[in-house]
Structure 1
């Protein structure tokens, strides 16, 4: 929905005594939505790469390598589904609710996001790390020592960067929730 349309919807409610400026809310919502799109894109690319690799090389016979790939793919897929559900549910509410109701909805939404960020996401990350750990013996056996070290180091760096991105997003969401409670 366009910013102008949202502004018109919320400015109609002139009797509302809220301190919220519709433009500020729209800007923060867009920034948060863009962050979610970036997270979804990164996770989706990783899932696609893992699936392609799995179908070309891994599923000849069942072993812990396949289990590791499935764990990694499953944990990322769950996180992608949660992000999409969260994103589209929020946008649907933005269009259908009045400003005051949307403010109350945002409080509930960000409390739910805190649960996702602090409970479900660490579980997904742990499952992903365990899956990666299951792959390492196979990588060590099939690849040269230099390439194995590259995979290990780049995997750890990617994981740390991904965790930092999630932590940054969670901190921003927590700050926004605090701002919502102040108003």
Structure 2
């Protein structure tokens, strides 16, 4: 989809929506979409690592180790599916709407994103952290103290870094929603 095509379509819509405001919305939506793609990629790589780890180390019977891995993988997969759906739905809607309708749609879209960010994402995050917590006794038993401490510290730091990224993303989306609401 080309930005020039959108500018031309939106410029015919009326005087309420100037090409510069259309360009501004396109650029912000594009930047936000790139952030979503990066998030999907990071979560996807993490899922692949966890699945590979599961295949290599998971036992054939059900225990807390397996439960922890399943919780971590399923929470990430759920978030990936949500992100893919919202990106796909937003892009499809852009093609079929005029500028005013799309602006209204974006407001609804970002209200939904706020619900996802404030309720679903923290729940997925808690499930992921709990899954990691379930793995710790197995790590302590199977690995040396030094490697266990490394896994513990790096795991906690990774969770904190991801939490920081999520909070930053939520703040950006909230700011974008406020800007849309003010137009």
Q: Deviations over 1:54-93 (max 9, x none)?
A: 1121032211100000000000000000000011101111
Instruction: Show the counterpart of 1:174.
Output: 174
**Is the 2:71–2:128 contact (alpha carbons within 8 Å) kept by the matching residues of 1?**
yes
Instruction: Show the counterpart of 2:108.
Output: 108
5+ residue gaps, structure 2: none
Task: Tell me: higher relative CO, structure 1 or 2? Use CA pairs within 8 A at least 6 residues apart.
Answer: 1
Equivalent residues in 2 for 1:1-183, closer than 5 Å? 1-13=1-13, 15-18=14-17, 21-183=21-183
Structure 1 Cα separation of the partners of residues 59 and 107 of structure 2: 45
Q: Aligned pairs, how many?
A: 182
Instruction: Give the root-mean-square deviation of aligned CA atoms.
Output: 1.1
Deviation at 1:4?
1.1
Runs of 4+ in 1 over 2 A off after TM superposition: none
Structure 2 Cα separation of the partners of residues 165 and 27 of structure 1: 21
**TM-score for the superposition, normalised by structure 2:** 0.96
Structure 1 Cα separation of the partners of residues 109 and 15 of structure 2: 22
